[in-house]
């Protein structure tokens, strides 16, 4: 039986910078999940946390309380080690698509419960639903069976996992309390721990297109989440990676699937391949396969074979053509030189305005809309050379997309410093 408290007392305590006890946090989350604590009270408490912060023990208790609000998946009967991956999101971040089948090649199961995009960050499920016939909703039995036979599954999380987080996340989105490390960390980790994986690799972004652009804030989030995983018995590693510029050449849904398939075929953009391999090596190490060679599995087609089986197992046709937008507009260079700045955020916003993203969770997305980059930062360009192509189903969308991209690239003389945010991989937090 959970001890009872008064919501206003807990709001005042946190407002005044006090530390809440384990029983207090257990009660608050349980009462909010059951509707005893109202949205207006939880919004006040979340703002108090945003302003006052939380101690590490409080963050751990909050996370565990959100896990306890629902079911927890169990892979005890699975005859393979399980390793999951989570990214804090960015522009052109399609890494889950080639990564999950690549890791599964080596007998390490990847149970990936993913989400949909909101705003400028794309959702993995939206990308995969570009594939004709592919379905995101699986029963627990289907999910476990695919893990056993294929070794990788990407699906929508059921309503039973961390329902408290689902309520609190929606509230934070409308009350200006999203960018709060204790609430971000507990939200992400409550879902990931409830998914039941034995180990977890986190991809925590920084830079223009990241959820937390500041590298130091990103590092604090990474350290907090790694500790939460360890406290819950989940071996957790975080890679801090650069999202100052878009990842790869494709930004959207169907075009990101196309680029992922290029990676699985042994090609694709160098930055996408580099990050896929870096995450795969960490996942394989946690899964007990430290000597595995993921680069070889991309080169020889084994990862592609698992991808095809993974897509087909969820009703998709891996050979079906991906959707193509009927309207396109290409922007060309007005001068020659070197592309020295290409901040990710404006491209993410433009792709969203073209129809690739949504403003509200219930909005539909266009699987054919998006942007294809023809030049990446640091590359030479000539006058009149295509820089990028925008694609949409509705030509009326081009105007607002162009507005988002105003000043979103800089061409300068050779030798001008490049504003790329540094190397792709900044740090590893264990």
Print pLDDT tens along the chain (430 aa): 678 899 999 999 999 999 999 999 999 999 999 999 999 999 999 999 999 999 999 999 999 999 999 999 989 889 999 999 999 999 999 999 999 999 999 999 999 988 877 667 778 999 999 999 999 999 989 999 999 999 999 999 888 889 999 899 888 878 889 889 999 999 999 999 999 999 999 999 999 999 899 999 999 999 999 999 999 999 999 999 999 999 999 999 999 999 999 999 999 999 999 999 999 999 999 999 999 999 999 999 999 999 999 999 999 999 999 999 999 999 999 999 999 999 999 999 999 999 998 877 677 899 999 999 999 999 999 999 999 999 999 999 999 999 999 999 999 999 999 999 999 999 999 9
Q: Tell me what pLDDT residue 122 has.
A: 73
The yes-or-no answer on residue 86 being catalytic is: yes
Q: Tell me what pLDDT residue 121 has.
A: 72
Q: Tell me what pLDDT residue 118 has.
A: 63
**φ and ψ of 265, to 5 deg:** -85, 5
Out of 165, 203, 271, 372, the active site residue is: 165
Note the pTM of the prediction, 2 decimals: 0.95
User: CB of 198 within 8 A of CB of 83?
Assistant: yes
Q: Tell me what pLDDT residue 119 has.
A: 63
Bridge partners for 410 per DSSP: 341
The yes-or-no answer on residue 120 being catalytic is: no
Burial of residue 266 (number of CB atoms within 10 Å: 0-12, 13-18, 19+): middle
Out of 172, 205, 308, 353, the active site residue is: 172
Within the chain, all domains assigned CATH 3.90.1170.30 are found at: 327-412
**Among 140, 97, 405, 13, CA closest to 275:** 97
The yes-or-no answer on residue 191 being catalytic is: yes
Out of 69, 187, 208, 366, the active site residue is: 187
Superfamily of domain 327-412: Pyrimidine nucleoside phosphorylase-like, C-terminal domain (3.90.1170.30)
**Among 375, 298, 276, CA closest to 331:** 375
Pairing outcome for strands 327-332 and 370-373? unpaired
Within the chain, all domains assigned CATH 3.40.1030.10 are found at: 83-319
Q: Tell me what pLDDT residue 106 has.
A: 98
CATH of 83-319, one of 3.10.580.10, 3.40.1030.10, 2.60.40.1120, 3.40.50.1700: 3.40.1030.10
User: CB of 424 within 8 A of CB of 274?
Assistant: yes
Out of 14, 80, 85, 86, the active site residue is: 86
Within the chain, all domains assigned CATH 1.20.970.10 are found at: 7-53
Out of 80, 191, 289, 367, the active site residue is: 191
Q: Tell me what pLDDT residue 178 has.
A: 85
Alpha-carbon distance values, 238 to 26, 185, 220, 293, 375 (Å): 27, 12, 11, 20, 30
Q: Tell me what pLDDT residue 170 has.
A: 83
CATH of 7-53, one of 1.10.10.10, 1.20.120.330, 2.30.110.10, 1.20.970.10: 1.20.970.10
Neighbours of 114 (CB within 10 A): 20
**Among 353, 387, 430, CA closest to 119:** 353
The yes-or-no answer on residue 165 being catalytic is: yes
């Amino acid at each position: 039986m959970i001890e009872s408290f008064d919501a206003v007392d807990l709001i005042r305590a946190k407002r005044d910078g006090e530390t809440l006890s384990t029983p207090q946090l257990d009660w608050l989350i349980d009462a909010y999940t059951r509707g005893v604590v109202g949205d207006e009270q939880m919004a006040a408490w979340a703002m108090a946390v945003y302003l006052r912060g939380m101690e590490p023990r409080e963050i751990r208790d909050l996370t565990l309380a959100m896990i306890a609000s629902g079911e927890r998946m169990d892979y005890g009967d699975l005859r393979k080690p399980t390793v999951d991956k989570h990214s804090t999101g960015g522009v052109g971040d399609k890494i889950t698509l080639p990564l999950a089948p690549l890791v599964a090649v080596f007998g390490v199961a990847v149970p990936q419960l993913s989400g949909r995009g909101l705003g400028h960050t794309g959702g993995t499920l939206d990308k995969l639903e570009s594939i004709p016939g592919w379905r995101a909703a699986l029963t627990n039995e289907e999910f476990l069976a695919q893990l056993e036979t294929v070794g990788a599954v990407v699906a929508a999380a059921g309503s039973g996992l961390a329902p408290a987080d689902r309520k609190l996340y929606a509230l934070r989105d409308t009350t200006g309390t999203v960018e709060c490390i204790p609430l971000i960390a507990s939200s992400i980790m409550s879902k990931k721990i409830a998914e039941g994986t034995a180990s977890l690799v986190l991809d925590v972004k920084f830079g223009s297109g990241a959820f937390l652009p500041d590298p130091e804030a990103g590092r604090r989030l990474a350290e907090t989440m790694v500790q939460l995983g360890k406290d819950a018995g989940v071996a957790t590693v975080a890679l801090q990676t650069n999202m100052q510029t878009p990842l790869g050449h494709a930004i959207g849904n169907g075009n990101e699937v196309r680029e992922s398939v290029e990676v699985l075929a042994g090609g694709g953009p160098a930055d996408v391949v580099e990050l896929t391999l870096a995450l795969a090596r960490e996942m394989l190490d946690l899964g007990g396969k430290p000597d595995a060679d993921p680069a070889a599995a991309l080169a020889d087609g084994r990862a592609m074979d698992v991808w095809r089986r993974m897509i087909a197992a969820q009703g998709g046709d891996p050979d079906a053509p991906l959707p193509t937008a009927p309207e396109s507009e290409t922007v060309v260079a007005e001068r020659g030189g070197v592309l020295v700045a290409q901040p990710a955020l404006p491209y993410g916003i433009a792709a969203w305005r073209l129809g690739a993203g949504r403003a509200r969770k219930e909005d539909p997305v266009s699987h054919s809309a998006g942007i294809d980059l023809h030049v990446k930062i640091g590359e030479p360009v000539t006058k009149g050379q295509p820089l990028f192509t925008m694609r949409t189903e509705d030509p009326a969308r081009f105007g607002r997309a162009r507005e988002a991209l105003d000043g979103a690239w800089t061409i300068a003389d050779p030798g001008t410093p490049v504003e790329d945010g540094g190397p792709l991989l900044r740090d590893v937090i264990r």
